[in-house]
Amino acid sequence: MLNGKRSSCQGDENQMKKFGAKPNKKEKTAREKPPKTPWRDKAFPMGCIAPSFIGVMIFFIVPFIVILYYSVVDNPINKDFVFLDNYISLLHNSAFKKAALNTLKFSLTSVPLAVILGLALAMLLDAKIPLVSQFRASFLCPMMVPVASVVLIWQVIFHYNGTLNEFLAKFGIDKIDWLKSDKAMIVVTLLFLWKNLGYNMILFLSALGGISKDQLEVATLEGAGAWYKFFHIKLRHLSPTILFVAILSLINSFKVFREVYLLTGDYPYDSIYMLQHFMNNTFRSLDYQKLSAAAILMSIVIIVILALLFVAENKFGEDTE
């Protein structure tokens, strides 16, 4: 009888588990509680992570907190809390507005061009055209050229008495002072593309090689054309690489200040006066509160742009997994 009752009780418990009945609270905590890891086992991985964590704290997190503090005080000496006054003053500053607008125009022009042209060159190389190695090497050469040499090349080409003006003069076209006119933004954009297209092309070429050939062959057998395969297969599988290249190009678009500074100095022509020029000149005048407010605003804008890129990539490439 006892055995019969015990077996019936066990059967009832099995039926309760089968139909989703909640187990006893004590049994649940005893079952779900993970075993404690001894401190000795945690010490080694924490010791490996500690130098990186300390470096990030010292060089990134703590300086960012300091900048955030400077942006809400009147100056680092008095340290009177003024909240958003520095930001309001900055937004009314004509030099900042001009620099922000120029940087926005440059990024909106150069970053999409760097992504689209890099992808187009990768597709061209993937099509197995003649002289592929020479073509690839010609676009990778700018990556090996120092910044000073790049600037020297651009000065020789785009100077008022430079190579390009001498060439255009043969066709009766008047000389243009490229770096001191509204054409200066075109010169900087060409410089940016020349420096970065090669690396973007290699990234896209590597991603194209990772697309399944079987999927492309099946699409071909079912009558899909080249444009259909590009937009519905290749482009969707390339969405993570497109996101990475866009972020990389956005970062590099802020680094173009080095070349522009070497070409034109502290105060270039109005059309290429960038945010980095404004920050550099503000730093030289030791206006820390204005500089900190500009850095915080710039960080917020970059974070928003990156968030939008991630959302777009997740939406576009969600069905490729």
CA–CA separation, 120 and 118 (whole Å): 5
CA–CA separation, 46 and 57 (whole Å): 15
Q: Yes or no: say if 228 and 215 are a contact pair by the CB < 8 Å rule.
A: no
What is the CATH class of 93-316?
Answer: mainly alpha
pLDDT digits (tens), the chain, 321 positions:
444 444 444 554 454 444 445 555 555 454 556 666 666 667 778 888 888 889 989 988 998 899 999 889 888 787 888 888 889 988 999 999 999 999 999 999 999 999 999 999 888 888 777 777 777 777 777 778 787 888 888 888 888 888 888 888 888 888 888 888 888 899 899 989 988 888 898 899 888 888 877 777 787 787 777 787 787 778 888 888 898 999 899 888 888 888 888 888 878 888 888 888 888 888 888 888 888 999 899 889 888 888 888 888 777 655 555
Strand partners, 269: none
DSSP string, 180-239: GSTTHHHHHHHHHHHHHHHHHHHHHHHHHHTS-HHHHHHHHHTT--HHHHIIIIIHHHTH
Q: Which two tokens stand for residue 206?
A: 């590597």
Q: State the amino acid at position 263 in one-letter form.
A: L
